[in-house]
């Protein structure tokens, strides 16, 4: 049911954890299934230097979170705002239809963190 890439990112998620001194954090919870992501950002000159996450959710949610962090590291925050859930799902070689909503978590959590960053919320 899951692609190799999903299974890989689920078993060995990249960039899991918290950050001692983040420039911003963002938390986002799916109203649909209760899955929740917390994103920690380190931003320098408008570029995402470091990113960490913690996710509560199914394999699709965890893999999407991991993939998202891989995709946006090194992006400007403007570029990162263009990232969509579909792009994350695609990068994972797709998700089962009934799991598509789980990928929403990743981009939405990221955007929340960026918006907090812009608003100066840590």
Applying CB under 8 A, the residues found at the interface with another protein are 1-2, 7, 10-11, 13, 16-17, 27, 32-38, 53-59, 61-62, 98
For another protein, the closer CB: 42 or 101: 101
Shortest distance (Å) from residue 32 CB to another protein? 7
CB proximity list for 49: less than 8 A, separation 6 or greater: 42, 43, 73, 74
CA distance 60 to 1: 11
Q: Which stretches of 3-108 are assigned E, i.e. beta strand?
A: 24-29, 36-44, 47-56
For another protein, the closer CB: 61 or 72: 61
Q: What positions carry a catalytic annotation?
A: 33, 102
């Amino acid at each position: 049911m899951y692609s190799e890439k999903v299974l890989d990112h689920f078993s060995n998620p990249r960039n899991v954890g918290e950050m001692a001194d983040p420039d911003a954090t963002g938390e986002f919870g799916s109203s649909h299934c209760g899955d929740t992501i917390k994103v920690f950002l380190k931003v320098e000159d408008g570029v995402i230097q470091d990113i960490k996450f913690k996710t509560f959710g199914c394999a699709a949610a965890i893999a999407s979170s991991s993939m998202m962090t891989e995709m946006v590291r090194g992006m400007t925050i403007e570029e990162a705002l263009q990232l969509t859930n579909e792009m994350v799902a695609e990068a994972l070689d797709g998700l089962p239809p009934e799991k598509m909503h789980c990928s929403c978590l990743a981009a939405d959590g990221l955007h929340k963190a960026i918006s907090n960053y812009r608003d100066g919320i840590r």
